[in-house]
Every structure is written in structure tokens, then in C-alpha cells.
Amino acid sequence: MDSDNSTGTIPNLTFSDEQQYVLNNINDYTNIPALVCAFLVLVIVVAMRLYDRKLVDRVSLRLNTAISATDMVKSVALMIYTYELISPGGFACKLVPFLIVWLTNQYVLLTTSIAHNLLLIFLLGKPFKEVYEKWYFILPIGAAFLSALIPLLANRFGFDVAQGACWYTPSYTALSQRWEYGTFLVPVMAGMTYCTIVFIATAIKLYKENREISAKIHSSGLLDDMSNSVDVQRYKTTKAISRVVRRIILYIIIPLSTMLGFIVSEVWMYYYNEISYALNVWSVFTMTLPGILNFLAFLLDPAVQNAFEVIKYDLVNRYGDKPFVTPGTDSGTTASTLVTDQLPLEHSSKPTERDRPLLRWFVRTFIAPKSQSNTTLQRKERLDKAVELSAITTSGPLQGKEQLDKATERSDTNIARAYVPPPPSGSSQERREHSPGSHSQRRRSTILLSKFGPDII
């Protein structure tokens, strides 16, 4: 198509009233829940931060918070765009496409930061450096803002007669299409491709590692001696790390799931010079899903599940009928030690008899019975969670047999300290648990957590 549109023909790229009605309903039924989900992520993160700042000390968690804030504003912009709540000739007709381009690019590029962090730490085995994190925010936000600001200043946004909406205009010219490709479609496709490559590479590595360890376990005939075999413990640690990484990669597959339909519909429209209703149904439905999908990935994030466990056991310790004492620790240790072996939370762990009766009733009724149960099944579930969290937060990037051995060793040490039943009062074992050397070792474990914790989660 010529950039000067020498034929003078303006193509009709609009929908019928019935088709537009269906698309608007799809937008409503997905965009509004997405807006609510994005808001819930922000509320939960703020609540976790107010409860204890250590609970949100994870890179993927902070990046997902920024993504959710981006999704929330983008959902509002999409609703305004869909219902044409702006005058065709006003500045708002330029502002809305500016917001859509900026926030969509920002959401994709922030997700790319999660993928890049996973690439460095898990795939390449690079040590985590705090300086990385600020660039995970600065580069995506800055690049996304510039990608939308430049066409805005170049007066490329406005009311497009062909589509009957505020977008890149005139969309039927090659010049306008080059602007859209260069500032919107190509950045989105680049981010999608990068995330997809990291996702596939991570899945392949997880599959190979699990297969190698499983083959070694089966070939050596060690399955009958599960409690004493170092190889079996290494296998368990590898499986635990795999479970954590599998949850993290849920974030990086979201751009492909949500933006592919839009990319295909735009390319189809410009290539064939006609609008496809079926492709736009796909596009409208999936483009509004990031808020919902990020919320689901957020709930499965190991950092969030870890925080829920810490808060649950701390509430039981403070408001239950009896203070919940972590097995193998003194009565002043809160539940944060149970899951992460970190220092106690900065809250009083003494039960309050007169304060907050409603909270005490809620904890005693719905939380304490489950948390204080000593059944074998629940002890095993807590043990499995400790394996998973301890392995991923104390080991850092795992490369080779030696580091995997060290991760297993540290994981087993932390789990044993957290779950071995308390010895009789005054016994030699109890004296060893509270000796200065033991305290020093626990401090060292805490330092390891603070050093390697943000690597992946």
C-alpha cells in the first residue's frame, strides 16, 4: 500500500452494530474482573508489606506488583477506548491510544524482566546482584514510555476514519503502519519471543535435570532407602526447585497468551486491508486477561505462599488458645522460622487475651485447629513445603553436582532444625540447640537467605 494513498480510497475497517455489541460485552466481562484482580494484587502486597517488609523481599513479587499496577490503569484505558467516551477531535483521542501503547509495552517489558532474571539466575547460573533489580524497572518503564511518547509528539495518534476509533492515523497508509510496527507491534513481539524462548529453555532444563536424577535413583536401586540416601535427598531437592521454577515461569508465558491474538488481528488487517471479526473476538478477549492471569500466577508465587504460611502461624502464635511453638525452637520464635528459617517477625508473639476478640475468634475457629494439628499427613505437608522453600532460597543458582550437593545439605539442615520434635527439658540435645555455636549457625543460614533469596523468587 502506498504511503500517500494515491487512490484516495479509505477502506472500511469498522464492525457492524451487532458485532461491536458482542465485542463490547466481551470487553466488559473480562476487563472488569481483570481490573479487580489487579487491584487485589496491590492490596495483598501492601498488606504483606505493612505486616512485615521481609515478606515482599522477592524480585518476581515486586515486578508482578508493578505489572498489576500497569494492568489496572490499562484496563481503564481499554474501557474508555471501547466505548468511545472521547470526542474524535479532542486531546483525549490522542491520550487514550498513548496510554494503551505505553502500558501494554510496559506490561510486556516488565514481564520480560522476570524472564531475563530467570535466564541469568537459573539457566546461566549467574550470581544475583542488587544492581540488576533497579534496571529491571528503569529500562522497561523508560522504553515503554518513550515508545508511546514519540508517536504522540509526532502527531501520529488521533481519530482514524477507517477504523472509526482513536488509534494510529491514518491507519490505511504505509507510513502510519510503520509507526505502529516500530513503536508497538515489534516491541510487543520482541518481548513475547524473548519470554517464550526463556520459557522453553527453562522447561527443557527442568525436564533434563529431573530425568537425569530420576534415572540415577532408579538405576542405583536406592528407592528402598529413602531416608539415608544422599542421592535421593538430592533428587528431592531438585524436584523442589523444579516446582518453584515451574510456578515462576507462569509469569513469562502470559504475554504470549494475551497478546498473540492482537498481533495476528493487526497484521491480518494491514496485510489484507480488511477487518476480521473472528480474530478481533480472540484479540479483545485475550488482551484483557493479563490482570486475571497475573493474579493467578501471583497466588501460586512461592514468595506469596511463603508469606501466607508465615502470617498464618504467627497469628496462631499470637491469638490462638495456646502459643504455637515451632518444634525444635524456643517459645519466642515465631512461625517465620517454620517456613523460611529467617529471623522472627517484628511483632509480639505473646497471646493477647483482651485485645481484638473478633480476630481471636477467627484464628481459633478457622486457623488454629489446622495449624496446631499434629497428624502425620500435615507434618509431611509442612515438611514438603520447607524442602521447597529452603532449597530455592538458600541455594541460589544451581550449577553442577557440587552446588546441588551443597543445596541439599543446607536444605536438609534447615528442615531438620525446624521439624525435629523438641527434646526433653534439660537434655544434652536441648543444650546443644541453644548453644552459642548453634545460634551462630542459624545466623549464617539467615545471611544465606538474605543473600540468595531474591535470586529467583
3-state secondary structure of 375: coil
Examine the pLDDT at 284 and tell me if it is beyond 80: yes
The pLDDT value given to residue 199 = 94
Determine which helix (DSSP H) or strand (DSSP E) holds 157, and give its type and residue range: strand 157-160
Cβ contacts of 418-423, under 8 Å, gap ≥ 24: 418/326, 418/327, 418/328, 418/329, 418/337, 418/338, 418/341, 418/386, 419/327, 419/328, 419/379, 419/382, 419/383, 419/386, 420/327, 420/328, 421/327, 421/328, 422/325, 422/327, 422/328
The whole-angstrom separation of Cα 329 and Cα 150 is 59
- Which pLDDT belongs to residue 173? 93
CATH architecture of 17-300: Up-down Bundle (1.20)
Residue 106 near residue 145, CB atoms below 8 Å: yes
What pLDDT was estimated at residue 56?
84
User: What single letter denotes the amino acid at residue 350?
Assistant: K
Assigned C-alpha cell, 428 = 544434652
Give the tens place of pLDDT for each residue, 316-363. 887 776 554 444 444 444 433 334 333 334 444 444 444 677 777 777
Backbone torsions φ then ψ of 157, nearest 5 degrees: -95, 145
The 8 Å CB, 24+ separation contacts for 430-436 are 433/328, 434/330
Residue 295 has pLDDT above 50, yes or no: yes
Write the DSSP symbol of residue 150: H
Residue 373: phi and psi, rounded to 5, are -70, 145
- Reduced 3-state DSSP string for 99-148: HHHHHHHHHHHHHHHHHHHHHHHHHCCCCCCHHHHHHHHHHHHHHHHHHH
- In this structure, the number of other CB atoms found within 10 A of the CB of residue 438 comes to 13
pTM value > 0.85: no
> Per-residue pLDDT for 18 more than 90?
yes
Q: Cα–Cα–Cα angle for 325, 326, 330, nearest 5°?
A: 70
Q: Residue 213 has what pLDDT? A: 74
How open is the CA angle 209-214-216, to the nearest 5 degrees?
A: 100
Highest mean pLDDT among 89-103, 213-227, 255-269, 391-405: 255-269
Q: What number is the average pLDDT over the span 185-190? A: 97
Query: What are the pLDDT digits (tens) for 214-241?
Result: 777 666 655 555 555 566 676 777 777 7
Asked whether residue 378 carries a pLDDT value surpassing 60, the answer given is no
For 276, the grid coordinates are 476480521
- pLDDT surpasses 80 at 421: no
Other C-beta atoms closer than 10 Å to the C-beta of 399 total 13
Mean pLDDT in residue range 366-393: 50
Q: Please, which pLDDT band fits residue 244 given cuts at 50, 70 and 90? A: confident
pLDDT greater at residue 438 or residue 230: 230
Residues whose CB is less than 8 angstroms from the CB of residue 21 and which lie 6 or more positions away in sequence, other chains included: none
Report domain extents, the chain.
17-300, 305-455
Backbone dihedral angles phi then psi of residue 7, each to the nearest 5 degrees: -75, -20
Mean pLDDT of the chain: 75
Query: Given this model, what pLDDT does residue 343 score?
Result: 37
CA 163 to CA 118: how far, in whole Å? 40
Compare 347 and 157 and report the one with higher pLDDT: 157
Residue 322 pLDDT: 54
Q: Which of 160, 173, 124 is nearest to 2 (CA)?
A: 173
Instruction: Provide mean pLDDT across the span 417-443.
Output: 41
Q: Residue 417: is its pLDDT beyond 90?
A: no
